[in-house]
Amino acid sequence: EAQVTQNPRYLITVTGKKLTVTCSQNMNHEYMSWYRQDPGLGLRQIYYSMNVEVTDKGDVPEGYKVSRKEKRNFPLILESPSPNQTSLYFCASSKQGLRGSPLHFGNGTRLTVT
């Protein structure tokens, strides 16, 4: 089944403890991106990647890192998580960029930082 898979679905951690949220797609999509969803703020783009080894900042990149070493994977790294990064995170991919090409979303990862 063509899909975007995120892991884990739920994660509780403490301030400062590095963590990685994985994202994988099996559709050979070039574009991948990360979003956070917060009540009253909607979805905000964190980082995106047009292709392997190409990444760019979205609207809210502070405190996050990403890498795109392989086409199918796009992990989100929080080197030193803080409570304000408690949120629902979504990974998404699209065939070739965003213009004319819809996003396919993962199921989400609910992160709590205490």
Partner 1 sequence: AQRVTQPEKLLSVFKGAPVELKCNYSYSGSPELFWYVQYSRQRLQLLLRHISRESIKGFTADLNKGETSFHLKKPFAQEEDSAMYYCALVMNRDDKIIFGKGTRLHILP
Q: Which residues bind partner 1 (CB under 8 A)?
A: 31, 33, 35, 40-45, 48, 50, 56, 58-59, 90, 92, 97-100, 102-108
Residue 16 CB, shortest distance to partner 1, in Å, is 30
By C-beta, is 13 or 30 nearer to partner 1?
30
By C-beta, is 100 or 114 nearer to partner 1?
100
Phi, psi for 84 (deg, rounded to 5): -75, 0
By C-beta, is 83 or 97 nearer to partner 1?
97
Residue 52 CB, shortest distance to partner 1, in Å, is 15
Residue 15 CB, shortest distance to partner 1, in Å, is 27
By C-beta, is 18 or 57 nearer to partner 1?
57
3-state SS of the chain is CCCEEEECCEEEECCCCCEEEEEEECCCCCEEEEEEEECCCEEEEEEEEEECCEEEECCCCCCCEECCCCCCECCEEECCCCHHHCEEEEEEEECCCCCCCCCEECCCEEEEEC
